[in-house]
């Protein structure tokens, strides 16, 4: 919408890529260009624009970003001397591949207690509320969207996990 406002104000817009929802609910990427046509007195007469579906191009770019993150993670794993280095590389790869603002590795220790082994972007409050919880009955890990990292969401996630519902990677691994 900002690009359209620029065109209406008299500026030309070249190759702005936007994502729009299609009628069926799916999304598509378009590259749009726009120009305004004004009368001699400067009054706006027409807005001219083109839109080209570039969904395939954007999907390929996304796949290349993901693949690049995987390769960099594999390089980091190959050169790692300690598990912490692997975890740090994994967190970086997840952030880049998903575009998320927050990511963590939360594992159970030998007593079945949840422990953070690494994180990016999590609040102290969320970590304090989650760390130390009994993880022995958990059926899997839950990945949250950025807007869901709070106390209410933590309780909701525990309810989902206790019912066997899950999102993300299911893995019961000691945090040692």
The DSSP element (H or E) to which 95 belongs, if any, is helix 83-98
The DSSP element (H or E) to which 102 belongs, if any, is none
Given the DSSP bridges, would you call strands 114-120 and 27-38 parallel, antiparallel or unpaired?
unpaired
pLDDT tens sequence across 98-150: 777 888 888 888 888 888 888 888 888 888 888 887 776 554 444 444 333 34
Q: What is the CATH number of the domain that holds 17?
A: 3.30.450.20
- Both 87 and 153 in one domain: the answer is no
pLDDT tens sequence across 35-51: 888 888 888 888 888 88
- Both 126 and 68 in one domain: the answer is no
Phi first, then psi: what are they for 19, rounded to 5°?
A: -115, 130
* pLDDT given at position 36: 84
Residue 47's DSSP bridge partners are 36
pLDDT tens sequence across 66-75: 888 888 888 8
Q: Where are the beta strands (DSSP E) in 40-120?
A: 44-53, 103-108, 114-120
Per the structure, the complete domain to which residue 7 belongs is given by: 2-53
- Both 120 and 70 in one domain: the answer is no
Given the DSSP bridges, would you call strands 44-53 and 114-120 parallel, antiparallel or unpaired?
unpaired
Count of the separate structural domains present in the chain: 3
Per-residue pLDDT, averaged over 4-33, amounts to 83
Half-sphere exposure (CA, 13 Å, Cβ side) for 132?
Answer: 5
- Both 49 and 61 in one domain: the answer is no
Tokens of 55: 């969904």
- Both 115 and 168 in one domain: the answer is yes
Tokens of 82: 């300690």
Given the DSSP bridges, would you call strands 103-108 and 44-53 parallel, antiparallel or unpaired?
unpaired
Task: Name the most confidently modeled range: 14-28, 87-101, 157-171.
Answer: 14-28
pTM, to two decimals: 0.51
């Amino acid at each position: 919408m900002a690009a359209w406002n620029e065109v209406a104000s008299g500026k030309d817009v070249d190759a702005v890529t936007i994502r729009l929802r299609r009628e069926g609910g799916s999304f598509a990427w378009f590259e749009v260009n726009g120009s305004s046509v004004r009368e001699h007195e400067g009054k706006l007469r027409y807005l001219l624009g083109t839109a080209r579906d570039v969904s395939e191009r954007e999907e390929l770019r996304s796949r290349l970003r993901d693949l690049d993150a995987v390769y960099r993670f594999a390089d980091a794993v190959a050169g790692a001397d300690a598990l912490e280095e692997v975890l740090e590389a994994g967190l970086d790869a997840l952030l880049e591949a998903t575009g998320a603002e927050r990511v963590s590795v939360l594992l159970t220790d030998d007593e079945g207690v949840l422990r953070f082994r690494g994180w990016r972007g999590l609040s102290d409050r969320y970590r304090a509320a989650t760390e130390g919880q009994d993880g022995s009955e958990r059926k899997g890990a839950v990945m949250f969207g950025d807007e869901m990292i709070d106390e209410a969401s933590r309780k909701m996630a525990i309810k989902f996990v206790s019912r066997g519902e899950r999102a993300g990677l299911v893995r019961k691994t000691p945090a040692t």
